[in-house]
Amino acid sequence: MSVDSVNWPALSVFIFFFALVTVLGFVASRWKAGDLTQLHEWGLGGRRFGTIITWFLVGGDFYTAYTVIAVPALVYSVGAYGFFALPYTIIVYPIVFLIMPRLWAVCHKHHYVTGADFVHGRYGSAWLALAVAITGILATMPYIALQLVGMQVVIGALGIGGEGFTGEIPLIVAFLILAVYTYSSGLRAPAMIAFVKDIMIYIVVFAAVAVIPMHLGGYAAVFDAADKAFQAKGGATGIILQPGQFMPFATVALGSALAAFMYPHTMTGVLSSSSGDVVRKNAMLLPIYTVLLGLIALLGYMGIAAGVSVKSATAIVPALFLKIFPGWFVGFSFAAIAIGALVPAAIMSIGAANLFTRNILRAIINPDITPAAEASSAKLISLIVKFGALVVIVFLPTQFAIDLQLLGGVWILQTFPAVALGLSRLRLRPSALLLGWAIGMVAGTWMAVSTGLKPIFPLSLGGATYPIYIGILAGGLNLVISVVASYALGAMGVDENVDETRPADYVV
Amino acid sequence: MGEIPEKRTSLWVWGLLIPFIALLWLPFYNSREPSLFGFPFFYWYQFAWVPLTSFLIYLAYRAVK
């Protein structure tokens, strides 16, 4: 790192906005004031967030900084296939509309703080709840680490990153700030920061999609340049899909949509809203963010058309902005991305901390824990989780977090039968669901490892090969086993009917 | 179980299946033409399904509210 390589106008604007959200993060503890020594106050913001706050919170939480970096990077590298993100983030909302208001209602009624709390109550099985909790924590950890990658990329592009451990100091400082205000303010901090972050991201993206194509001769020219670039690379991928990509594209989109709201951070966002109706309205309104994501994805093609060359595809968005925008706006956009990492990272660590506290500490280790001790445990765990993610990013190759996040997607899908089917009238047996979960986890991990940690498994069936997303295959196996074992247990007369919820509890 | 009379699933709720079919069946839209404002069909079709899906959810919302 040298003083010459630092982009001073960009850095000043960047630091200004970063300082602003830091202040907001601490002020947030007094916003809609509640007793922060209670877990549902610290970890769910007291379930008080209305339609607009929830919209910003879930939007900021679901469309993460890593998305802003990784989706255009994928489009830059492989073209149309990277657009699976669009079908994924469209069909996710009918799913949210159908199941999440019911989850909100039953969790509100029984004071559940996590998805695993619901599973515990619905099935009367601490072990099934433990399986759901551990899966959630495992899937979230690498996701937090990847938010740091988003931050690392923009810090590097500002010229204050650099080689070795000292180059990571800006990242460590940013993350310490995040850790401290999450500790003191809980979910209120990311909720308040999400306002600033999302408005900044909207400004950046609308400026980018209006200004950049003007420099490049319009959208037709952008698509044309990308088309030629992919053909020059041999045409294995392009600006429309090859027929062989249809099934991977569709199954990854569907699997990601089913998994999306099973993650602790998205579920935490939903549960923090003030009513089931707020959740329904958000299913209608959150797709606005999908338009934003689609526009962000197009930045990958703009990078190609602008002739930006990067060592790693993840640097494409910052490199494109540096090439086109003036310094002060580069600083503004990079701050938007870095702050964009703080919101989901905070909510993810809160979601994981809630799971650990409720479904491991209270359910298994210390059932007599007081509510105040519960909240202070969650605060401490949120620090540990973030510290773990930081260690992974500073000391291990980024690929490690990317591979784990891929596995995390496969794993979190294995909680879908217990959680989502549990919200319907159908109630499978907890031991059957636990068996299905275990087999799904093992099969999914095995398939991922056997393909060299790729998301797609070539399934051979009757002489033909179908390339299908591993999460869908493992989840399908899980579902079949859960249903069959459930009916088998029923036929054997095994009684497992301890359900503390009633049908009326699910009505919004 | 069964304290509440089962409500018939509204027709509009079934409408929520439409985006799944429209977006997961690739032969429907994996083409360049007709393009719109410089966007190949593959892209503007996907963008178009964002407001269409919101509208279908709105219809289902009105029916179940």
Output the domain CATH number for residue A174: 1.20.1730.10
pLDDT at residue number A366: 84
Question: Could you tell me if A145 lies within 8 Å of chain B, comparing CB atoms?
Answer: no
Burial category of A462 from C-beta neighbours within 10 Å (exposed 0-12, middle 13-18, buried 19 and up): exposed
Mean local confidence (pLDDT), B18-41: 94
Which structure tokens are listed for A466? 């179908």
Cα A295 from chain centroid (whole Å): 19
- Dihedral sign, Cα of residue A466, residue A471, residue A474, residue A478: negative
Conformation bin of residue A473: beta by default, left when phi > 0, alpha when psi is -120 to 50: alpha
Burial category of A436 from C-beta neighbours within 10 Å (exposed 0-12, middle 13-18, buried 19 and up): buried
Cβ proximity of A320 and A306 under 8 Å: yes
- Reduce the DSSP state of residue A347 to 3 states and report it: helix
pLDDT, tens digit (0-9, with 9 covering 90-100), for A284-309: 999 999 999 999 999 999 999 998 98
Question: Could you tell me if B21 lies within 8 Å of chain A, comparing CB atoms?
Answer: no
Q: If you average pLDDT over each of A4-18, A190-204, A408-422, which comes out highest?
A: A408-422
Helices (H) and strands (E) in chain A, counts: 22, 2
Confidence of residue B17 (pLDDT cuts 50, 70, 90): very high
Cβ proximity of A479 and A72 under 8 Å: no
ipTM of this predicted complex? 0.90
Measured CA to CA, the distance from residue B58 to residue B65 in angstroms comes to 10
Q: A218 vs chain B: nearest CA distance in angstroms?
A: 8
Query: Which of A87, A277, A502 faces B23 most closely, judged by CB atoms?
Result: A87
Confidence of residue B3 (pLDDT cuts 50, 70, 90): very low
Q: Torsion angle, CA of B5/A425/A92/A481, rounded to 10 degrees?
A: -160
Which residue bears the tokens 């089917």? A421
Which structure tokens are listed for B57? 């959810």
A35 assigned to some structural domain: no
Lowest pLDDT segment from A113-127, A284-298, A482-496, B28-42: A482-496
pLDDT at residue number A104: 95
Measured CA to CA, the distance from residue A122 to residue A135 in angstroms comes to 18
- Inspect the interface and report whether the beta carbons of A291 and B2 lie closer than 8 Å: no
pLDDT, tens digit (0-9, with 9 covering 90-100), for A44-56: 888 888 888 899 9
pTM for this predicted structure:
0.90
Peptide bond into A458 cis (omega under 30): no
Which structure tokens are listed for A351? 């979601």
- Reduce the DSSP state of residue B36 to 3 states and report it: strand
Question: Could you tell me if A502 lies within 8 Å of chain B, comparing CB atoms?
Answer: yes
Question: Could you tell me if B39 lies within 8 Å of chain A, comparing CB atoms?
Answer: yes
Confidence of residue A192 (pLDDT cuts 50, 70, 90): confident
Among chain B residues, CA nearest to A506 = B4
Question: Could you tell me if B9 lies within 8 Å of chain A, comparing CB atoms?
Answer: no
Confidence of residue A280 (pLDDT cuts 50, 70, 90): very high
Lowest pLDDT segment from A18-22, A359-363, B20-24: A18-22
pLDDT at residue number B5: 45
Q: How far is CA A62 from CA A26, A152, A267, A268, A480, in A?
A: 23, 19, 10, 11, 29
pLDDT, tens digit (0-9, with 9 covering 90-100), for A122-133: 999 999 999 999
- Inspect the interface and report whether the beta carbons of B40 and A223 lie closer than 8 Å: yes
Cβ proximity of A496 and A458 under 8 Å: no
What does the buried/exposed string (b/e) look like for B7-43 if buried means 16 or more CB atoms within 10 Å of the residue's CB? Answer: eeeeebbebbeebbebbbebeebbeeeebeebbbbbb
Q: A72 vs chain B: nearest CA distance in angstroms?
A: 14
Cβ proximity of A489 and A431 under 8 Å: yes
Measured CA to CA, the distance from residue A489 to residue A501 in angstroms comes to 21
Mean local confidence (pLDDT), A336-364: 89
pLDDT, tens digit (0-9, with 9 covering 90-100), for A301-349: 999 999 898 888 888 999 999 888 888 888 888 888 888 888 888 899 9
B5 Cβ partners below 8 Å, 6+ apart?
none
Among chain A residues, CA nearest to B3 = A503
Considering its fold, how many domains does chain A have in total?
Answer: 1
Question: Could you tell me if B26 lies within 8 Å of chain A, comparing CB atoms?
Answer: yes
A38 assigned to some structural domain: no
Domain range enclosing A102: 3-28+44-506
A39 assigned to some structural domain: no
Which is nearest to A503 in space by CA: A106, A38, A61? A106
A302 assigned to some structural domain: yes
Cβ proximity of A152 and A9 under 8 Å: no
pLDDT at residue number A164: 60
Q: What is the DSSP string of A111-175?
A: T--SHHHHHHHHH--HHHHHHHHHHHHHHHHHHHHHHHHHHHHHHHHHT---STTGGGHHHHHHH
Cβ proximity of B28 and B11 under 8 Å: no
A331 assigned to some structural domain: yes
- Inspect the interface and report whether the beta carbons of B38 and A86 lie closer than 8 Å: no
pLDDT at residue number A507: 87
Residues of B in contact with A500 (CB under 8 A): none
- Reduce the DSSP state of residue A18 to 3 states and report it: helix
Residues of B in contact with A249 (CB under 8 A): 26
Higher pLDDT, B10 or A331: A331
A34 assigned to some structural domain: no
Which residue bears the tokens 């008080």? A48
pLDDT, tens digit (0-9, with 9 covering 90-100), for A414-440: 999 999 999 988 889 999 999 999 999
Cα A40 from chain centroid (whole Å): 21
- A236: number of Cβ within 10 Å: 11
Q: If you average pLDDT over each of A32-41, A177-186, A240-249, A361-370, which comes out highest?
A: A240-249
A376 assigned to some structural domain: yes
pLDDT at residue number A5: 67
pLDDT at residue number A461: 85
Cβ proximity of A469 and B24 under 8 Å: no
- Reduce the DSSP state of residue B2 to 3 states and report it: coil
A485 assigned to some structural domain: yes
Measured CA to CA, the distance from residue A478 to residue B9 in angstroms comes to 27
pLDDT at residue number A185: 84
Residues 277-296 in A contacting B (C-alpha not used; CB under 8 Å): 277, 280-281, 283-285, 287-288, 290-291, 294
pLDDT at residue number B26: 94
Query: Which of B40, B47, B57 faces A291 most closely, judged by CB atoms?
Result: B47
Q: Is the pLDDT of residue A65 over 70?
A: yes
Measured CA to CA, the distance from residue A423 to residue A40 in angstroms comes to 21
Strands A464-469 and A456-461 turn out to be antiparallel
What does the buried/exposed string (b/e) look like for A44-76 if buried means 16 or more CB atoms within 10 Å of the residue's CB? Answer: bbbbbbebebbbbbbbbbbbbbbbbbbbbbbbb
Measured CA to CA, the distance from residue B11 to residue B62 in angstroms comes to 12
